[in-house]
Amino acid sequence: MTSSLLNPMVAVHRVAASGPDDVAGLERLVETGTLDPSGIVAILGKTEGNGCVNDFSRGFATQSLKLFLHRHIGPDAAASVCLVMSGGTEGALSPHWIVFERKHVKEFGQGPALAMGSAITPPLAAEHLGRRAQVEMVAEGVRLAMDRARIADPAEVHFVQIKCPLLTAARVTEADGRGFATATRDTLKSMGLSRGASALGVAVALGELQMDAIAEVAIGADMGLWSGRASTSAGIEIMGHEILVLGMSGEWSGPLRIDHAVMTDAADIEPVRAALGRLGFDGPGQLGAEERARVRAVLAKAEASRTGTVRGMRHTMLDDSDISATRHARAFVAGVLAGTVGLTDLFVSGGAEHQGPDGGGPVAIIAERG
Amino acid sequence: MTSSLLNPMVAVHRVAASGPDDVAGLERLVETGTLDPSGIVAILGKTEGNGCVNDFSRGFATQSLKLFLHRHIGPDAAASVCLVMSGGTEGALSPHWIVFERKHVKEFGQGPALAMGSAITPPLAAEHLGRRAQVEMVAEGVRLAMDRARIADPAEVHFVQIKCPLLTAARVTEADGRGFATATRDTLKSMGLSRGASALGVAVALGELQMDAIAEVAIGADMGLWSGRASTSAGIEIMGHEILVLGMSGEWSGPLRIDHAVMTDAADIEPVRAALGRLGFDGPGQLGAEERARVRAVLAKAEASRTGTVRGMRHTMLDDSDISATRHARAFVAGVLAGTVGLTDLFVSGGAEHQGPDGGGPVAIIAERG
Amino acid sequence: MTSSLLNPMVAVHRVAASGPDDVAGLERLVETGTLDPSGIVAILGKTEGNGCVNDFSRGFATQSLKLFLHRHIGPDAAASVCLVMSGGTEGALSPHWIVFERKHVKEFGQGPALAMGSAITPPLAAEHLGRRAQVEMVAEGVRLAMDRARIADPAEVHFVQIKCPLLTAARVTEADGRGFATATRDTLKSMGLSRGASALGVAVALGELQMDAIAEVAIGADMGLWSGRASTSAGIEIMGHEILVLGMSGEWSGPLRIDHAVMTDAADIEPVRAALGRLGFDGPGQLGAEERARVRAVLAKAEASRTGTVRGMRHTMLDDSDISATRHARAFVAGVLAGTVGLTDLFVSGGAEHQGPDGGGPVAIIAERG
Amino acid sequence: MTSSLLNPMVAVHRVAASGPDDVAGLERLVETGTLDPSGIVAILGKTEGNGCVNDFSRGFATQSLKLFLHRHIGPDAAASVCLVMSGGTEGALSPHWIVFERKHVKEFGQGPALAMGSAITPPLAAEHLGRRAQVEMVAEGVRLAMDRARIADPAEVHFVQIKCPLLTAARVTEADGRGFATATRDTLKSMGLSRGASALGVAVALGELQMDAIAEVAIGADMGLWSGRASTSAGIEIMGHEILVLGMSGEWSGPLRIDHAVMTDAADIEPVRAALGRLGFDGPGQLGAEERARVRAVLAKAEASRTGTVRGMRHTMLDDSDISATRHARAFVAGVLAGTVGLTDLFVSGGAEHQGPDGGGPVAIIAERG
């Protein structure tokens, strides 16, 4: 199906989901020939659970997507597809899938295009989780995925999505048995540490931070260290890291481009407006219907600032014992983004340790050329 | 203290609150002579409860504000101050008070200025709540408050805040005893009916709707009927209506102006941008620091659309049994507004029956002249 | 596999689940020969979602159980297994499966034993949901299931678990198209009506109520009408009713017995103690470890009283906008039952319209002979 | 009003509250002469907030009770009344006040009676919070309160209610300024440490633990160390400790007695039944109406076990990101207690660090002689 005479291109399909198990929209894409299941590299899902510990919408979605993939490409090929489920469609956010498909086209497009590359790291020893060893392993994996995406210049990378491991009681015990202490024995805390160390690995690979500048105690603690292009989530089902690099490359074709912004606080929309401008959206206010049709995906991280304030004014997200701060943050940042982009099926996810500055976060936009 | 040679003006003080009982900021305004307690006409409070049935932050704030007013102007004068507490500071919303003070100034300002007028209606018989009789009573009250605000043209009214009654079991029984059936026996439902009928009363007074066009069965049901300038909330402590009209009048002085917009859905920021433009804020993106300093108050209503969609995309607010839809809607709309205004101490409140179109809502902005 | 020389018996397996997709415990029962998958008649699951609208733990569990059944008995046989998932393991409740297996044994046991029978009704026309026609259809289905359970005397029926349909927008529209109006257009409300009408159908079949005594307007409204042995839940995936009758019959063998109680309010444990006594548990306090080992399943319904009080004291369940009243009720009633039974893997479910008196509910206990 | 010829006695008034500001029931007791406000030593309030960080029902109740006390005994006397508000009336729990009044009676009662004594410790330096110095300070305070209660034998003490301080950012900074590091910089965590250290102080005073056995690192960590009679809560408004000791003493008169039990897990009702037996309630099941009338107060602590299990079965309280584990635990334990006591206005509170074994907790019962 592929040929060395053809150029690779990325197709991005954003598909509404009526529930965590609703793959009907994906089936329709396959039936109409819009999507070739054998080209699927990754599926991101914004599912409607609480995005916290007891969010079963993620597992339900994963199981449903796997059944979909099994039907079309069999279990073996399905196993290599990266599935990243992010729970939480607070506010007017709309549940959806984002499918990244690798296609091939004959003609070169005009200039560089959206490129992607993936990599899977070896399993991480439990005692390395949340420590410098994890940072280094991820940095190496990101470099490999960049190679595969044929992106040489780190400045051309705009988003790195990583699924990273977490600790379970069994894994902690196993490390104990080998004589090694893990960074934490708390499962929930291990998720934050793993997300944070993975994000720092991205920062190292992209030259945002030097490895030397990252002390072990700074992981999960010094929020002054961050990547503006990392988005990481922890999953119980893996022991290594699944890495998806998105960027621009002259060796890829097709109509899509990607750019990114870093919000410095929850209301900081100007960098996003600037990124939209670089992608050719240059109106003063919200994108109009035609412009919105050109947007393929908006990927963002959101988190309540640890300072308890936004622009000097107190927020109450961290003190609300009825609603998790991550849910508040997603709803609000979704509104900030929707006000400018005009869409509500935005991939806004939480848990932004070392992913953008405290209270802010990275935002990537994939859009068709104007 | 007042004199016929002086012109009335409205001062609007927006003050941060560290909790529902934090009146320290108000005390400081009094101490420094910035606020004369005897001129207080109304205090709006955005408090940090859930904004739903068991939100004690509102009652706690009301009790605390009353103690503040008692200390400064005594119980009798305090009783005439309109206190409207709106619970819910979801997302990055910041708890705050908005004090409306009537002052007098010697010189005329340049052209019309922010004007206000209040009225209190007679008690509403329980059987009239949620029915045309309530609509008519509120319409009459709004006209009286307009007179007092010296606003003759309804087009000059930009926001009407109303506190309206609700039914309790005792009030239903009392009506029963007189041989009258109430519109509902459900206390919670009576709140929505009362808010809705009050909003329709505003629409009638402002000429947005004709009284003839409002069938009794349409109240609380036909969301195609609405006012673009009403904001209503129900409170157990009153039997009549407390009405505060805000608009522009040539007979008032001072630096403040008001304008309003109607959002047609939860992400519809363009009408707000237009209103900001009319108020002299004409940049392309978010207000900058100097512009933000000119903004005195942003008052908005937010509610999840009953259709279950925003711009054709499904939202999950009405299906979330863990978080009330009103909390989702406030968080999201707050983000939409903050993205443009750049502030987080916004008075975004829920319960928007007949206040703007389904899923949208009115927004008023009070700002200093540029 | 069966023979007319053998007697039927019911085996009940209570199996812990570490998550909605954890069927490992069931697999172990199969591997060890304890459970023959071809004999499975029904699986009840107490899953750990919120038990409300957006509880995906139920769908996730159902999908996982179906995959389990497909592996062992194929899709066709799997389709006839009744799967009833009840979300909500509040308080110390423990997620678990209860498998009802039909076995055959050579020797008669001593006297009557636990019997079961199932039936599936024809599809219910949407306009009949929540109306007398549904009551009658269910009553007929219960009688058929009793026949199959070889229980002639309604007094020998102790629990009837029913899965009933609900309305969707599409089903309402379809009825509209045929010229029929449904009892409600509100999906959530249709669930309560369907549960309630189904429970009344049980009451009619068991002679607890006469069909004549049930006015159409009383369905979902007059909580003085109820069955003390019905447990119903609504599911979107079916259009008819899946009915499981549990009772005592001399034509069944085996060591298990069943009895039931009706709690008249949320703290009313004495009827449960009496039922335990009839089952041979006659100690003064909580069951001891040996007695607990004899208990196979405890099935109960719980709901907050609409009066807002328990024994004259106010409860706050209906006013809590942060936690659904059904979650409060399950947690509390679970505690009441656990205090006496000493177990926490109890099948306590909510949504108890016409299932026991207001604020109370039916409780069935299946236990081995002493 | 008092005289050396008279004997002290404790009157305990349990009064329903329709909201956090409802003191009408207390006013009625005063009006009818049942309660002499000048004798009030402490008021415990079970209020209907979430019992977590943003529970404003506690502050609202405290402000309302202070206004009540100011009206009757003036601000100075009011300041010495111990007010302990515990948020959270989950399940069927009913909001109420428990007033402890010191009275005097002429005749000696028959034998020992309920005795109480209070003490206030000096302010605790911030750096001592959660450390052995706090344990020692509380132990000394408990001994002083025992003296005042005229209880010499620690075995006669059945419940010690303590209100203890917490750290704020300002207090941490103040300690920093003096060159001392606090045990934590996390406000929320400081509440648990303070509750835990205070409970250990009770254990030391009552001889349940030796001071030597309590290592500094064990505070908040080693849940094998606990008091079976401590109930502690942290409040921002105090810097020292308010201590209320309840027990039996031959030097007190009146009809009331107190006893206590320690539940070893969330379902462990047998020790409570034993305590009820010692108080003369000796029936096999739930207390009947006459017996319930003799119960004045039930005071209990509840908390989810850190092991994640109850009697070997998994619970989901710690994994529920929608409902705080403390809310789950209160609802469930309330049910366990209500099943036996038959009442729902029980003072069940959370945050049980070092107060009973992990997952269990102390229960005290005050009742009239039979």
- pLDDT by residue (tens digit) across B43-90? 999 999 999 889 999 999 999 999 999 999 999 999 999 999 999 999
Gap from D52 CA to chain A (nearest CA, Å): 6
Give D212's contacts (C-beta < 8 A, 6+ positions apart): none
Determine which of A321, A324, A328 to mutate to test the interface with D (most D C-beta atoms within 10 Å).
A321
The verdict on a CB contact (< 8 Å) between A315 and B270 is: no
Q: At what angle do helices C24-31 and C56-79 cross, to 10 degrees?
A: 30
Are the C-beta atoms of residues D20 and D60 closer than 8 Å to each other? yes
Does A163 qualify as catalytic in the annotation?
yes
Tens-place pLDDT, residues B97-134: 999 999 988 766 667 999 999 999 999 999 999 999 99
- Please state, in angstroms and rounded to a whole number, the distance separating the CA atoms of residues A194 and A198: 6
- CB of A63 within 8 Å of a chain B CB? The answer is no
**Minimum Cα–Cα distance from B308: chain C residue:** C169
Q: DSSP code of D355? A: B
Judged on CB neighbours under 10 Å (0-12, 13-18, 19+), B4 is exposed
Band of pLDDT at residue D282, cut at 50, 70 and 90: confident
Band of pLDDT at residue A63, cut at 50, 70 and 90: very high
The number of beta carbons lying within 10 Å of the beta carbon of residue D339 is: 28
A259 has pLDDT over 90: yes
Sheet holding B7-16, edge to edge: B7-16, B96-105, B40-47, B82-87
- CB of A57 within 8 Å of a chain C CB? The answer is yes
**Minimum Cα–Cα distance from B284: chain A residue:** A284
Give the pLDDT score at B109.
Answer: 61
| Nearest CB to D267; choose among C310, C317, C338 | C338
- CB of D310 within 8 Å of a chain C CB? The answer is yes
- CB of C313 within 8 Å of a chain B CB? The answer is no
| 3-state secondary structure (DSSP) of residue B302 | coil
Fold topology of C3-106: 60s Ribosomal Protein L30; Chain: A; (3.30.1330)
Strands A40-47 and A82-87: parallel
- Please state, in angstroms and rounded to a whole number, the distance separating the CA atoms of residues B130 and B221: 11
D105 has pLDDT over 90: no
A-contacting residues in D 64-103 (Cβ below 8 Å):
none
DSSP string, D128-153: GTTSHHHHHHHHHHHHHHHHHTT---
The active-site residue out of C194, C198, C227, C233 is C233
| Nearest CB to C54; choose among A48, A54, A63 | A48
Q: What's the alpha-carbon Rg for chain C, to the nearest Å?
A: 20
- CB of C20 within 8 Å of a chain A CB? The answer is yes
- Please state, in angstroms and rounded to a whole number, the distance separating the CA atoms of residues A147 and D133: 60
Determine which of C322, C328, C330 to mutate to test the interface with B (most B C-beta atoms within 10 Å).
C322
Strands A96-105 and A7-16: antiparallel
The verdict on a CB contact (< 8 Å) between B335 and A284 is: no
The verdict on a CB contact (< 8 Å) between B50 and C319 is: no
- Please state, in angstroms and rounded to a whole number, the distance separating the CA atoms of residues B308 and B269: 20
Gap from D57 CA to chain B (nearest CA, Å): 6
Structure tokens given for C244? 């499981």
Give the pLDDT score at B274.
Answer: 97
Strands A7-16 and A82-87: unpaired
The verdict on a CB contact (< 8 Å) between C63 and A59 is: no
- CB of A314 within 8 Å of a chain B CB? The answer is yes
For chain D, give the percent of residues with pLDDT over 90.
91
- Please state, in angstroms and rounded to a whole number, the distance separating the CA atoms of residues D314 and B358: 45
Within a 13 Å sphere around the CA of B342, how many CA atoms are in the beta-carbon half? 19
- CB of B48 within 8 Å of a chain D CB? The answer is yes
A328 has pLDDT over 50: yes
Gap from B281 CA to chain A (nearest CA, Å): 13
Give the pLDDT score at A356.
Answer: 97
Pick the closest to residue A355 from A207, A159, A214, A167 (CA basis).
A159
The verdict on a CB contact (< 8 Å) between D337 and C332 is: no
B143 has pLDDT over 50: yes
> φ, ψ for residue C158 (rounded to 5)?
-115, -15
- CB of C322 within 8 Å of a chain B CB? The answer is yes
Determine which of B328, B346, B363 to mutate to test the interface with A (most A C-beta atoms within 10 Å).
B328
Catalytic residue positions of B, numbered: 163, 233
CATH code for the structural domain at A114-245:
3.30.1330.180
Band of pLDDT at residue D3, cut at 50, 70 and 90: very low
Which conformational region is residue A85 in: left (phi greater than 0), alpha (psi within -120 to 50 degrees), or beta?
beta
Give the pLDDT score at A2.
Answer: 42
Gap from B321 CA to chain C (nearest CA, Å): 6
A322: chain C residues, CB-CB within 8 Å: 322
- Please state, in angstroms and rounded to a whole number, the distance separating the CA atoms of residues D117 and D102: 10
Gap from D328 CA to chain C (nearest CA, Å): 4
Gap from B270 CA to chain A (nearest CA, Å): 7
Give A76's contacts (C-beta < 8 A, 6+ positions apart): none
Residue numbers belonging to the annotated binding site of A for substrate: 58, 86-87, 195, 233-234, 330, 349-350
Residue numbers belonging to the annotated binding site of A: 58, 86-87, 195, 233-234, 303, 330, 349-350, 352, 355-357, 360
D57: chain B residues, CB-CB within 8 Å: 56
Give the pLDDT score at A3.
Answer: 43
Are the C-beta atoms of residues A272 and A364 closer than 8 Å to each other? no
D322: chain A residues, CB-CB within 8 Å: 50, 52, 54
Give the pLDDT score at A8.
Answer: 94
- CB of C38 within 8 Å of a chain D CB? The answer is no
pLDDT tens, per residue, chain C with 370 residues: 344 567 899 999 999 999 999 999 999 999 999 999 999 999 999 999 999 889 999 999 999 999 999 999 999 999 999 999 999 999 999 999 999 999 988 766 667 999 999 999 999 999 999 999 999 999 999 999 999 999 999 999 999 999 999 998 889 999 999 999 999 988 888 999 999 999 999 999 999 999 999 999 999 999 999 999 999 999 888 899 999 999 999 999 999 999 999 999 999 999 999 999 999 998 889 999 999 999 999 999 999 999 999 999 999 999 999 999 999 999 999 999 999 999 999 999 998 999 999 999 999 999 999 7
- Please state, in angstroms and rounded to a whole number, the distance separating the CA atoms of residues D200 and D141: 12
Within a 13 Å sphere around the CA of C336, how many CA atoms are in the beta-carbon half? 34
B3 has pLDDT over 60: no
- Please state, in angstroms and rounded to a whole number, the distance separating the CA atoms of residues A230 and A239: 19
Structure tokens given for A259? 């750019």
Domain ranges of chain D: 3-106, 114-245, 255-368
Query: Mean pLDDT for chain D?
Result: 95
- Please state, in angstroms and rounded to a whole number, the distance separating the CA atoms of residues D280 and D276: 6
The verdict on a CB contact (< 8 Å) between D20 and B60 is: yes
A51: chain C residues, CB-CB within 8 Å: none
- CB of B334 within 8 Å of a chain A CB? The answer is yes
Q: DSSP code of B211? A: G
D52: chain A residues, CB-CB within 8 Å: 321-322
The verdict on a CB contact (< 8 Å) between B270 and A284 is: no
The verdict on a CB contact (< 8 Å) between C50 and B324 is: no
Give the pLDDT score at B199.
Answer: 98
| 3-state secondary structure (DSSP) of residue D214 | coil
Pick the closest to residue C135 from C44, C226, C224 (CA basis).
C226
| Nearest CB to B321; choose among C52, C316, C320 | C52
Give the pLDDT score at C216.
Answer: 95
The active-site residue out of A57, A163, A194, A198 is A163
The verdict on a CB contact (< 8 Å) between D19 and B63 is: no
- CB of C320 within 8 Å of a chain B CB? The answer is yes
A340: chain B residues, CB-CB within 8 Å: 269, 339
- CB of C54 within 8 Å of a chain A CB? The answer is yes
- CB of A10 within 8 Å of a chain B CB? The answer is no
Gap from B268 CA to chain A (nearest CA, Å): 7
Q: Do domains D114-245 and D255-368 have the same CATH topology?
A: yes
Residue numbers belonging to the annotated binding site of A for Mg(2+): 303, 352, 355-357, 360
| Mean per-residue pLDDT, B156-173 | 94
Q: Thinking of the domain B255-368, which architecture would CATH place it in?
A: 2-Layer Sandwich (3.30)
The verdict on a CB contact (< 8 Å) between B320 and C53 is: yes
A95: chain B residues, CB-CB within 8 Å: 314, 316
Catalytic residue positions of D, numbered: 163, 233
Gap from A20 CA to chain B (nearest CA, Å): 12
| Mean per-residue pLDDT, B304-323 | 94
